[in-house]
A and B are shown apart, each in its own frame.
Chain A
Amino acid sequence: MSSINYESFVREPLVDGDKNYSKVTEEIVYTIETKPTRLWYIGFYISVALLCFGVYSIYREVVYGVGQWNLGRTVGWGWDITNFVWWIGIGHAGTLISAILLLFRQGWRTGVNRAAEAMTIFAVMAAGQFPIWHMGRVWLAFFVMPYPNTRGSLWPNFNSPLLWDVFAISTYFTLSLLFWYSGLIPDVATLRDRAKTKIRKLFYGIASFGWTGSTKHWQRHESLSLVLAGLCTPLVLSVHTIVSFDFATSIVPGWHTTIFPPYFVAGAVFSGFAMVQTLMIITRKVMNLQDYITLGHIEAMNKIIVLTGSIVGCAYLTELFMAWYGANMYEYDAFFKYRLAGPYGWSYWIMMTCNVVSPQLFWFKKLRRNIEFTFIMSIVVNVGMWFERFVIIVTSIFRDYLPSSWSLYYRPSIYEIGFYLGTFGLFFTCYFLFSKYFPVIAIWEIKHVLKTTGENYKEQMQGLEKMSPEEFYNETHHH
């Protein structure tokens, strides 16, 4: 008679199927060691084409100036800063999965963390383009660097949120890169030791830094990952907080609100998880990794989406309430005349529908575990989050204090859109290359949890489960 059941009724296995260590390696590296499929080539070429259009759009902007984008007075920040905040936000889910869930000991992160971290890095790369090229005279971009310069000893203003942003984003990028790459080294070593061709041996040999798998190295590696996770956790919160300071420390009605930092961070995680879902659902299907990125993973991420979506919804309503309760007429007008209604009212309602109403459907378990629905929702959420930034930026500045300087209806130019499409090109080109040449799932982390979950664990515990209470007592107390 079985007195104990070791298999959890609540928690699903992290890895499906009966696997051993070598099978895990084989299955994850399969796509790396075989020729890419037609689908991969098509996707890759589309991304490169978009990237090229983006480069051309930037070329136009550098040569002819920011006027190539329909920016002017009073909309000086349009699509570009919207896109900047959107991409930065997307990056946040990667750090959340890899760092915060590591600290919280969430076993399910192992299936998705590698790809999510890669997504963070590519998203931050895409985001960084916008403020850099938005400078206009990009050849003077080095002015943000704090060094004893030849410009009359003029230093950058360290009290400015825009300079904080420079520090925050460069630190974020550096640390994400270190975290991602240090985790990648053991897996690259696996690829190196399996390599058959000369070029693979050379490439993975250089990239693996001579990793051997020594116990002492693993011990240090674990310490490094844990501390980097501890550092990245406040860092990721600080990055979007500082991005929100770009707005919140100004005196523009609609931007000047103290709720911005938590609201931006929640929104960032919300959109980031949506992007992880989009990528993961395609990746698991195309690369046949359904055993590693299970329905359980998708459901867990959908739970985070519904949580952060609700926080964002709360923030929207708080903003509206404060705009009325604060009894400041400019603030009131910014929200009730120009945001909810007015020429850009449509964008507000798109935002509300996509971010607040639709994610609530994830309260239903059936929908959380439905892949097609999740995929559609992931895109809806990202559209919504793009509109959130658009609403915040454009509806707050297209009406100035002086009606004489009110701008005409702001529409993006083709090169402004092209720049945005170009960053999609950059992002997906990088992601396609990454998924072809590096393991999208952290092989060593899967091996690490393999025997604590699923079929392997069941096998281990079967003996114990079959024991009578007396036998179990003898077994456990006589050692």
Chain B
Amino acid sequence: MTIKKFVVGCFDDEKVLFPAVKSIRNQGYKIQDVYTPFPVHGLDKELGMRDTSLHTAGFIYALLGLTTALGFISWILTMDWVQNYGGKPHFSLAAWIPIMFELTVLFSGVGMTLTFCYLCQLAPFVKKHHFHPAATDDKFVLVIECTSNTNVQEAEQFLAAQGAQEVNVQVAETGWWLGRYDMDRKLFDQKASVATA
């Protein structure tokens, strides 16, 4: 739980957003995040993010599924309870391929989705601070994190000069908390934290 101060600017168009991101970063501001209604290709690179490794996790889960299926079935059918199915060999790999394949896919898909939810902190009853309600509609919401040497007014002016339509300052919790969207819960005393920020 950390409470920080942010300067928030809303953009209408991704064509304005890209040069703005570039100059804001060049200016030395720390962009906390950009919230967009759809995946804007290239924005992650522009923000200096590295590629996600989620697919590598998926591959590891897939291997786990494959070895689980092979190990489990071969242990059952050749060691734990050996049965004679129509005189066929106990270790009949060809007949196990369907289940091995299915478990590979199942482990990979389920594992990746759970990892995705964990990394992005997504779950029912998870609540986060939303800088602008239209970030899921038609606004691209750029959020600058204020550090001890940020001049808030300057940052606001700079954002507006870059083409941001709405600029404001928000003090917000950066992480998630358990909550419901139909109820507001006061997480912290805004006045006190502004003073300390």
Question: What is A's interface to B at a CB cutoff of 8 Å?
Answer: 20-22, 25, 146, 153-155, 157-159, 161, 163-164, 167-168, 170-171, 174-175, 178-179, 182, 185-186, 189-190, 192-195, 198-199, 201-202, 204-224, 226-228, 231-232, 234-235, 238, 242, 245, 444-445, 447-448, 451
Contact = CB atoms under 8 A, between A and B. Distances in A.
28 contacts: A22-B137, A153-B81, A154-B81, A158-B73, A167-B99, A167-B103, A171-B102, A190-B137, A193-B134, A193-B135, A205-B127, A208-B181, A209-B126, A213-B35, A213-B37, A213-B136, A215-B44, A218-B38, A219-B44, A219-B51, A220-B120, A223-B54, A224-B113, A231-B58, A234-B105, A245-B98, A444-B38, A448-B38
B43 interface: yes
B28 interface: no
Interface string B115-139: 0110111111111101001111110
Interface in B41-83: 43-44, 47, 49, 51-52, 54-55, 58, 72-73, 76-77, 80-81, 83
Contacts of B101: 234, 238
Contact of A221 (B33, B34, B39, B134): B39
Contacts of B112: 224, 227-228
A79 to B, nearest CB: 26
B39 A448 contact: yes
Given A155-B80, A213-B141, 20 more contacts: A25-B37, A158-B76, A159-B92, A171-B106, A178-B110, A182-B116, A204-B181, A210-B127, A212-B128, A213-B35, A213-B36, A215-B43, A216-B44, A221-B116, A221-B120, A224-B54, A231-B109, A447-B38, A448-B38, A451-B14
Contacts, number: 204
Nearest to B88: A159
A185 B34 CA distance: 18
Given A167-B98, A168-B98, A227-B112, A212 B38 contact: no
Contacts of B96: 158-159
Given A21-B137, A159-B88, A238 B98 contact: yes
A155 B76 contact: yes
B151 to A, nearest CB: 25
B46 to A, nearest CB: 9
A190 B98 contact: no
Contact of A206 (B14, B40, B124): B124
A445 B37 CA distance: 10
B189 interface: no
A164 B108 CA distance: 18
Contacts of A448: 38-39
A211 B122 contact: yes
A221 B39 CA distance: 9
Classify chain B: how many residues form its interface, as a range. 35 or more
Given A159-B92, A167-B99, A227-B54, A214 B33 contact: yes
A175 B99 contact: no
B180 interface: yes
Contacts of A207: 124
Contacts of A154: 81
Contacts of B95: 158-159
A445 B38 contact: yes
A251 B76 CA distance: 27
B124 A215 contact: no
Contact of A444 (B37, B47, B124, B130): B37
B44 A178 contact: no
B113 A182 contact: yes
A350 B40 CA distance: 50
Contacts of A193: 130, 133-137
A202 B113 contact: no
Name the residue in B123, B128, B181 with the highest tally of chain A Cβ atoms < 10 Å from its Cβ: B181
Contacts of B105: 171, 175, 231, 234-235
